[in-house]
Amino acid sequence: MSAGTFSHALELRTIASPTLWIITVAALLLLLVVDMLITRRPREESMRESIGWSVFYLLLPVFFGFYLWADHGGGVAVEFFTGFVVEKSLSVDNLFVFMLLLAAFAVPSALARQVLLYGIVGALVLRVIFIWLGAAALQSGTWAFLLFGAILIVTAGKIVRDVVKGGEQEVDISSMRTVRLVRRFVPVTDEYRGSRLVVRERGRLALTPLALAAVAILATDIVFAVDSVPAVYGVTEDPFLVFATNAFALLGLRALYFVLQGVLTKLRHLNHGLGVILAFIGVKLVLHWAHGIWTWVPEIPTLASLGVIVGVLFVVTVTSLLANRRDRLRGADALVAGDETPEAIQEPAGER
- Read off the pLDDT of residues 93-113 as tens digits, 9 standing for 90 and up: 777 778 778 877 888 877 887
Predicted TM-score of the model (pTM): 0.75
- Between residues 271 and 57, which one has the greater pLDDT? 57
- 352 with 169: CB under 8 angstroms? yes
Nearest partner of 251 among 34, 67, 15, judged by Cα: 34
- For residue 236, being part of any structural domain is answered with yes
- DSSP bridge pairs for 204: 201
pLDDT computed for residue 1 by the predictor: 42
- For residue 6, being part of any structural domain is answered with no
- For residue 304, being part of any structural domain is answered with no
- 256 with 95: CB under 8 angstroms? yes
- For residue 325, being part of any structural domain is answered with no
Whether residue 256 is predicted with pLDDT greater than 60 in this model: the reply is yes
Of 1-10, 53-62, 147-156, 330-339, least confident by mean pLDDT is 1-10
pLDDT computed for residue 333 by the predictor: 64
CB atoms within 10 A of CB 72: 16
- Between residues 171 and 243, which one has the greater pLDDT? 243
Of 67-71, 176-180, 188-192, 331-335, least confident by mean pLDDT is 331-335
- For residue 146, being part of any structural domain is answered with yes
- For residue 329, being part of any structural domain is answered with no
pLDDT computed for residue 3 by the predictor: 42
pLDDT computed for residue 61 by the predictor: 92
- For residue 222, being part of any structural domain is answered with yes
Band the pLDDT of 172: cuts 50, 70, 90: low
- Phi, psi angle pair for 204, to nearest 5°: -140, 160
pLDDT computed for residue 115 by the predictor: 83
pLDDT computed for residue 11 by the predictor: 61
Q: How far is CA 294 from the centre of its chain?
A: 34
What are 195-235's pLDDT values in tens digits? 788 888 777 788 888 888 888 888 877 777 777 888 888 88
Domain count, the chain: 1
Q: Using CB atoms within 10 A of its CB, is residue 63 exposed (0-12), middle (13-18) or buried (19+)?
A: exposed
Whole domain around residue 230: which residue ranges? Answer: 15-261
Band the pLDDT of 176: cuts 50, 70, 90: confident
- For residue 147, being part of any structural domain is answered with yes
